[in-house]
Structure 1
Amino acid sequence: MTKEEISELNKRFNDAHPVEVIKHFADRYGDKIALASSLGAEDQVLTQMFTSVTDHAHIFTLDTGRLFPETYELIDRTSKKYKTNLKVYFPKAEAVQHMVRAKGINLFYDSIENRKECCHIRKIEPLKRAFEGLEAWICGLRADQSVTRTNIQVVEWDENNNIVKINPLAHWSEKEVWDYIKDKGIPYNPLHDKGYPSIGCQPCTRAILPGEDVRAGRWYWENPDTKECGLHKK
C-alpha cells in the first residue's frame, strides 16, 4: 500500500465509526487480516465489532507466560461468547530458558535493555509468527493512551512488520470505549475495576493512582517516553 493510498484512506475513515472501518478492511483482505488482541478493554470492543461483521474473524493473542490469571480466564470467556477460538502464540521455550539462565527470572527490572530483550522474546518474535501470511492487522491503539501514541492514524503502514495496520479506535476516548462495553455487554478483565486501565504481564503492571496517565502502571519503573515493548513503533 502506497503513502498516497494510506493518506486517502485516512481522509475517508478519519471520522468513520470503527465498525465501518473494520467491515471495509475485513471485506478487502478476507482471511489475510487478523485482530491482535491483548484482551484489554479496547481489544474486547474490537473483538465484538470484528465478529459482528464476519463469521470468520481471525483473532489471536500472545501468551508471554507471565500474564495475570484474570487474563487467562478472559481468553476462555471471550472465545465462548463470540464463538471464535482465540489463537494463542507462545514464546520459544529455548529462548526464554537461555535468557532467564543468563540474566535471571526478573531481568526486566535491571535495565531498559533487559526489559526490551524480554519483550522481544516473549512478544515480538511470537507476533512475527502470528503475522505470517497476513496482509493487514487490526489493533486497539488510541491516540490519548500515552505520549508515545498521540500521532497514530486510523490506517498506517507498519514498517516493523511490512504490513498494513488498522487502528479503528484511534480517535475514541476512554469513555467511548467503556460506554460501548456496557451497552453491548462485552466481557472484560475484572482488573480494570481494581485500578488497572492497561494490563500486560503481571510483574510489569501495577494499578495506577488517581490522576495518573492510563499507562502509568505499565513498566512503572521507567520514564513515560520508553514505555513501548516494540509491538508499536513510536
Structure 2
Amino acid sequence: MSTAIVNTLIKKTKGFSIEETLTFLANEYKEKVVFSTSFGQEDQVITALIVTNDLPISIFTLDTGRLFQETYDVFHKTLKKYKKEIKVCFPEASAIEKLLDEKGPNSFYDSVENRKECCFIRKVAPLAKALKGNIIWITGLRADQSENRNDLAFFEYDEKSEIIKFNPLLKWNLKEVSVYLEENNVPQNVLHKQGFVSIGCAPCTRAIAPDEDIRAGRWWWESSHKECGLHSPLTPEGEISKEKN
C-alpha cells in the first residue's frame, strides 16, 4: 500500500513546483502533513515556503537540550518574523536522567555506540512521537549533503517511521539554498557564516574547512557515516542500519 501511494504521489505531482506540491499535499492529507525543522539553511527555506504560501502544514522541532544558543536565536527570529507556531518536542526527562546518572554528560565521545544511544534518546525517540498519526513528513534533505543521501527520491516510504517522506529540496545545491535565503530575507543561523554548514548539538558539531565534506563537522571525532538515526534505513531484520549511522 505504501509503495502504491508513493507511486501515485510521484505521478500526480509530476511537473509541479515545490509550492504546488506542498499545496497539493496539504489539501490531499489535511492535518496529516508535518515538517521537521532544525533551523538549518534548508529547513529555513521550507519554513519560508510554507508560511508565505499560507499552507496548513504543522511545523515542529526537536530540542535535544544540547543545542547552540545561536540555534535558539534563529528559532526566536523565525517565530517573530513568520508568526507561525513551531511545536517543540523534548526527549523524555527520565531517559536523560538515567543516561547522565549512568554514563555522565559526555558519554557520546567514548564510543559510536554511546553516541548513537544519546542520539536515540534526544532525537530519534522524540521524532517517533512527533510523527505518529501523520501521513506525510517533509524534510530538508538534499542529495549532495552526504553519500548516504545520493540515492534519495522526492517521495519515499520511511519504513522505520512508517510514514511517507517528501524531500522538496532534494536536487538543490547549497548555493541555490543560500541565494533563496538572501533574496527573501529569511532568518539564518549566524554560525553558517563561521564555517558551520551542518549544525546539530553543540558538543557534536564543529566548523569545517572549505575543502572538507559538508558532514565532516558532525561527530567530528568519529570515522562514521555521519548520521544520527533520524534518516537511517532499516535492515531486513527491522533494526536501524548500523552501517549508515
Q: Which residue of 2 aligns with 1:76?
A: 76
CA distance in 2 between partners of 1:153 and 1:12 (Å): 15
Displacement of 1:27 in angstroms is 1.6
Matched, 1:120 2:120: yes
Q: What's 1:33 paired with?
A: 33
Tell me how far apart the structure 2 counterparts of residues 12 and 135 of structure 1 sit (CA, whole Å): 16
- The aligned counterpart of 2:172 is 172
Q: 2:230 maps to which residue?
A: 231
CA distance in 2, matches of 1:87, 1:155: 24
Q: What displacement does 1:224 show?
A: 4.5
Q: How many residues align?
A: 233
Contact 2:95–2:121 at 8 Å: present in 1 too? yes
Q: Secondary structure in 2 aligned to 1:215?
A: helix
SS of the aligned residue for 1:10 comes to: helix
Structure 1 residue 30, shift from structure 2 partner: 1.9
Listed as ranges, the matches of 1:121-140 within 5 Å are 121-140=121-140
Deviation at 1:151, TM superposition (A): 0.7
SS of 1:87's equivalent?
A: strand
Contact 1:66 1:201 in 2 (8 A): yes
Shift of 1:85: 1.9
TM-score w.r.t. structure 1 length?
0.94
Secondary structure in 2 aligned to 1:59?
A: strand
C-alpha distance 87-13 of structure 1, shift in aligned 2 (>3 A) = same
Kindly provide the amino acid, as one letter, of the partner of residue 86 in structure 2.
Answer: L
CA distance 1:17–1:99, shift in 2 (3 Å)? same
2:206 aligns to what? 206
Deviation, structure 1 residue 16: 4.3
- Equivalent runs, 1:133-212 vs 2, <5 Å: 133-212=133-212
Give the conservation status (yes or no) of the 8 Å contact 2:36–2:60: yes
- Deviation of 1:97 (Å): 0.9
Cα deviation code 1:164-220 (max 9, x no counterpart): 111000111111111111111111100000000110000000000121111110111
After superposition, the C-alpha distances for 1:126-177 in whole angstroms (9 at most, x for unaligned) are 1111112211111000000001111111101011111111100011111111
Mapped contact 1:26–1:33 kept (Cα < 8 A): yes
Gaps of 5+ in 2: 234-245
Conserved? CA contact 1:147–1:224, under 8 Å? no
**How far, CA to CA, are the matches of 2:10 and 2:66 in structure 1?**
36
The amino acid of 1:210's aligned partner reads P
TM-superposed deviation, 1:17: 2.9
Distance 2:7 2:224 in 1: 29
Contact 1:57 1:84 in 2 (8 A): no
Q: Return the letter of the residue paired with 1:187.
A: P
Give the drift of 1:7. 3.3
Distance 2:189 2:151 in 1: 27
The residue number in structure 2 matching 1:42 is: 42
Once superposed, what is the RMSD of the aligned Cα atoms?
1.6
Distance 1:171 1:12 in 2: 19
How far residue 65 of structure 1 moved from its aligned partner, in angstroms, is: 0.4
SS at match of 1:148: helix
